[in-house]
């Protein structure tokens, strides 16, 4: 979810659910050590609980980045061992790290020694032509020996040769049964399922056996599905009753960010899906994607769309 789940995306998601755990986009340890930390790591306390997802393969560097993240107030440090992009492979992190479980264990051990918050791992079922469950089992066994207790498993292999990142989200078949098998064999570990889930109706059956489910693109593209999470999965009252209430909260948030110098389009680009599958949804997306770039436009653009006319325009009053 690089370039997607930044703080402005998470602001919307937290308005929709008070209980879901939010994750940052993957940020490399080197960027945190040498870059603009306030820009990379800054977040509103209202986003909590929120986990910082790191990319890297050097234990000492990851430990320093984890310590910085903990000092910023993150609730969890997550090591990404699942991203299949060429850019990530060239840096020797992401999914290619699954081929080096001992190195991952060393990274986890170094981060755990540096911070007092949980250190978790996100991974795939395997890489390229690896034997699916045997490979996953060995990886989890090795990394768990370093103290990792939480594994978020994207239930597909990563094909690092021949498939693009987009194809890696669609072509390798989903094997949910292998994630359930992992939980049965390692009942003391927290096992979270990721991959290919688009609705809470699809999520709920997995929660009978697994410890959690992670939604990525489904929540980004159709964020309103998070409005049901608190009630259906946590037994709590939903935090907002309507999309219009969400827009009111976003106007307040956007006004405060604009006062700090944040450009409006940097925020609204993450909010385009709020009216997905709703009457006026297309007009709302155009309203935000085009209108937010016009000179002088402010938070007034965050208005509910007019319902789409069901008959030809010439017949509408």
CA nearest to 112, candidates 163, 51, 160, 70: 70
pLDDT-derived band of residue 30, with 50, 70 and 90 as boundaries? Answer: very high
Cα–Cα distance for residue pair 111/62, rounded to 1 Å:
6
Please determine, for residue 268, whether its predicted confidence score (pLDDT) is greater than 50: yes
pLDDT score of 96? 87
Please determine, for residue 157, whether its predicted confidence score (pLDDT) is greater than 90: no
Cα–Cα distance for residue pair 238/185, rounded to 1 Å:
35
pLDDT score of 219? 94
Instruction: Give the tokens for residue 197.
Output: 């889930």
Q: Distance of CA 33 to CAs 58, 75, 282, Å?
A: 12, 19, 41
Percentage of the residues of the chain whose pLDDT score is greater than 70: 91
pLDDT score of 165? 66
**Domains assigned to the chain:** 7-234 (3.20.20.70), 243-301 (1.20.120)
In the chain, where does DSSP find H-type helix? 7-16, 29-34, 37-41, 59-72, 86-90, 101-114, 132-144, 165-168, 176-185, 200-203, 217-221, 229-234, 243-259, 264-268, 281-291
Residue 280 buriedness (CB in 10 A; 0-12 / 13-18 / 19+): middle
pLDDT score of 2? 67
Residues in the chain: 317
pLDDT score of 92? 74
Please determine, for residue 162, whether its predicted confidence score (pLDDT) is greater than 90: no
Cα–Cα distance for residue pair 93/56, rounded to 1 Å:
5
- 83 is a catalytic site residue: yes
The catalytic residue among 9, 81, 83, 148 is 83
CB 111 within 8 A of CB 119: yes
Instruction: Determine which of 2-11, 82-91, 237-246 has the lowest per-residue pLDDT on average.
Output: 82-91
Percentage of the residues of the chain whose pLDDT score is greater than 90: 77
Average pLDDT, the chain: 90
37-46 CB contacts, 8 Å cutoff, 24+ apart = 37/68, 37/72, 41/68, 41/69, 41/72, 41/74, 42/7, 42/72, 43/7, 43/10, 43/72, 43/73, 43/74, 44/7, 44/11, 45/73, 46/11, 46/14
Model confidence pLDDT, tens digit, residues 96-144: 899 999 999 999 999 999 999 999 999 999 988 787 799 999 999 999 9
Q: What is the mean pLDDT of residues 22-38?
A: 95
Model confidence pLDDT, tens digit, residues 189-233: 999 999 999 999 999 999 999 999 999 999 999 999 999 999 999
């Amino acid at each position: 979810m690089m370039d997607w789940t930044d703080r402005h995306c998470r602001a919307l998601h937290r308005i929709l659910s008070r209980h879901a755990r939010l994750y940052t986009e993957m940020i490399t340890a080197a960027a945190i050590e040498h870059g603009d930390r306030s820009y990379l790591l800054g977040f509103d306390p209202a986003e909590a609980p929120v986990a910082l997802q790191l990319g890297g393969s050097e234990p000492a560097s990851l430990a320093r980045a984890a310590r910085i993240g903990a000092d910023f107030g993150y609730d969890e440090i997550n090591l990404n061992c699942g991203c299949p992009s060429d850019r990530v492979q060239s840096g020797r992190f992401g999914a290619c790290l699954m081929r080096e479980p001992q190195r991952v264990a060393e990274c986890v051990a170094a981060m755990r020694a540096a911070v007092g918050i949980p250190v978790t791992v996100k991974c795939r079922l395997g890489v390229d032509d690896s034997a699916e469950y045997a490979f996953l089992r060995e990886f989890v066994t090795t990394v768990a020996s370093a103290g990792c207790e939480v594994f978020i498993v994207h239930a597909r292999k990563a094909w690092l040769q021949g498939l693009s990142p987009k194809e890696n989200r669609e072509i390798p078949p989903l094997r949910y049964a292998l994630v359930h098998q992992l939980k049965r064999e390692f009942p003391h570990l927290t096992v979270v399922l990721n991959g290919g889930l688009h609705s809470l109706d699809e999520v709920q059956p997995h929660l009978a056996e697994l410890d959690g489910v992670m939604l990525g693109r489904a929540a980004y593209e159709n964020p309103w599905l998070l409005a049901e999470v608190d009630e259906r999965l946590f037994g709590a009252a939903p935090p907002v009753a309507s999309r219009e209430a969400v827009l009111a909260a976003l106007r307040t948030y956007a006004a405060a960010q604009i006062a700090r110098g944040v450009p409006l389009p940097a925020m609204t680009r993450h909010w385009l899906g709020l009216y997905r599958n709703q009457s006026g949804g297309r007009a709302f997306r155009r309203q935000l994607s085009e209108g937010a770039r016009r000179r002088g436009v402010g938070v007034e653009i965050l208005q509910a769309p007019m319902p789409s006319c069901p008959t030809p325009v010439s017949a509408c009053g």
